[in-house]
Amino acid sequence: MKQVNCATYEGLDAKVVQVESTLTKGLPSFSIVGMASTAITEAKERVKSALLSNEFSFPPKRITINLAPSDVAKNGSQFDLSMALMIALDSLEDDLSEWFVFGELGLDGAVKENMQLYPLLLSLANQNSISKAIVPHESLEKLCKIPNIEFYGVKTLQEAIDLLKNPQSLAPSQTQSNLNYPFYEINEEKYFYMKEYPEDFLDVKGQEIAKRAAIIAAAGFHNILFEGSPGCGKSMIAKRLRFILPAMKNSEVLDVAKLDALDFREPAFRPQRTFRSPHHTSTLASVFGGGSYKAQIGEVGLAHKGILFFDELPHFGKNILEALREPMQDNRIRISRVNAKIEYPADFLFIGAMNPCPCGNLLDQYKECRCSELEIKKYKNRLSDPFLDRVDLCVVMQNAAAADKASMSSKEMHKMVLEAHIFGKGRGQESFNAKLSDADIEKYCVLDAEAEGVLDMAIHKFSLSFRSIKKVQKVARTIADLDASETIRKKHILEALSYRRR
């Protein structure tokens, strides 16, 4: 019996699959066992044609391919090459169990690229389950971004056969994990960022409070809610906030590239965080993921390490808004289905934008609001207190005036965010301020005597919940970082309290 390794998805993570083969006496046949999907069973014809095109003659035996473990459902065309090699190299005495083999076969024996290879191999690398792999040659450029794996690129089935017969005949491709972007180094870890701002904050006139809140949200990864009349700049700020977010480690860039591949997009390998903005008519499954047969990733998961933007927030379904509370709090999402139960990371910055009333004119200085008190109350009641309690910053925006000027560019704001990020990392802090645990809050959110007095007064005056108190401390920590202050002072607490929901 011969064996090589391949992989399939189990939820969002890769599961190692042993591809085993036996050629036994009996009526000539070719069967694949081990909970293989239709895409894999159809591979029999591709494998046959590819082998015959390379002058291989099938022995008059019973060929059985087993995909182990047999209790895991397998899917994908990446098994083609491994199955063909198991048949072609049946007489080879060498042990092949250390090899991973991936690739789709053409009828002529060409090894083709598969879009799902990158997230599969990245997941295997994160699990330390793989050391060397045979992959399609055309996939090498992006696969070589993954560290600690020796990749052998092949263009045809015959090249793969020759490689396994003589492993020294082909040198592995060199890992190219270094990113050609500006970076700074903290504790021997490089953090990469971009200096391009396709959408600049110079386009936003006035709205100084909202722009200050955007800097705080970006620096600490704090959830933020903009409320204001139509056209005051809520969406403009939200879309520009993406370009001033903190720098990214190489592992984070690879994670974002993995999400691109899962979303059927070509991975860009740029230190730029994702921006997901589902429409308010989106279904629960499209936002959170799901499916009756296989649990697919949704918008919340695809926003990992980036921004999740809900425009027209109250118009989203009540079930969506209430289900969003869990990932906003725990930074993870769990999907339970009959056929699949998975959990995946959802560490995102949430941005919400809403009008003050159904007609949008409640805060307008020149237009009259057409809504009744009942309609306004019903509109605002779509957002529950537990949901709003998970929002760190709430900003009420006024209409822009003709005299308003542009104040700060995205470049200047990004510099402030990066400096705050460096300052926070310098004290040994791993996560963003918004994601600090209770133990980390005690360690890093140190208040001076005046600040403690102000916070105690606010707790009694505003009846702040335990979660709200922690939110205020974390926002104040970010404001202190922007001031390069080791301790949280009175002015930092006061500014943090000013962003609490009234």
100, HSE (Cβ side, Cα atoms, 13 Å)? 25
d(CA 365, CA 403) in angstroms, rounded, equals 15
pLDDT of residue 9: 85
Return per-residue pLDDT of the chain as tens, 502 residues: 779 999 998 777 889 999 999 998 888 889 999 988 888 888 889 999 999 988 888 888 899 999 999 888 888 899 999 999 999 998 888 888 899 999 999 999 999 988 889 999 999 998 889 999 999 999 998 898 888 899 999 999 999 999 999 988 888 887 776 778 999 999 889 999 999 999 999 999 989 999 999 999 999 999 999 999 998 999 999 999 999 999 999 889 988 998 888 888 888 889 999 999 999 999 998 999 876 556 678 999 999 999 999 999 999 999 999 999 999 999 998 887 766 677 888 999 999 999 999 999 998 888 899 999 999 999 999 999 999 999 999 999 988 777 888 889 999 999 999 999 999 999 989 899 999 999 999 999 999 999 999 999 999 999 898 999 999 999 999 999 999 999 999 999 999 999 998 7
pLDDT tens string 17-31: 999 999 988 888 899
Over residues 390-409, the pLDDT tens digits come to: 999 999 998 877 788 888 99
The domains of the chain, with CATH numbers, are 2-169 (3.30.230.10), 185-435 (3.40.50.300), 436-502 (1.10.8)
CA distances from 57 to 53, 203, 380 (A): 10, 68, 72
Closest among 261, 218, 217, 221 to 243, alpha carbons compared: 218
338 alpha-carbon distance from chain centroid:
25
Q: Strand runs (DSSP E) across 300-419, as ranges?
A: 307-310, 332-336, 341-345, 349-354, 393-397
pTM above 0.95, yes or no: no
User: Between helices 449-462 and 466-482, what is the axis angle to 10°?
Assistant: 140
SS3 for 224? strand
- Phi, psi for residue 275 in degrees, rounded to 5: -135, 110
| Closest of 486, 432, 494 to residue 458, by C-alpha | 494
Cβ-in-10-Å burial (0-12, 13-18, 19+) of 71 comes to exposed
Task: For residue 68, give the 3-state DSSP assignment.
Answer: strand
User: Which residues have C-beta within 8 Å of that of residue 98, sequence separation ≥ 6?
Assistant: 131, 132
Angle, alpha carbons 116-335-10 (nearest 5°): 35
- What letter would DSSP give residue 36? B
Q: How far is CA 351 from CA 227, 276, 305, in A?
A: 11, 10, 14
Handedness of CA 330, 478, 498, 206 (dihedral sign): negative
Q: Identify the pLDDT of residue 425.
A: 92
Q: Which residues pair with 349 in a beta bridge?
A: 307
Q: Which of 367, 361, 359, 301 is nearest to 335 (CA)?
A: 301
Q: What is the pLDDT of residue 454?
A: 95
Question: What pLDDT was estimated at residue 79?
Answer: 94
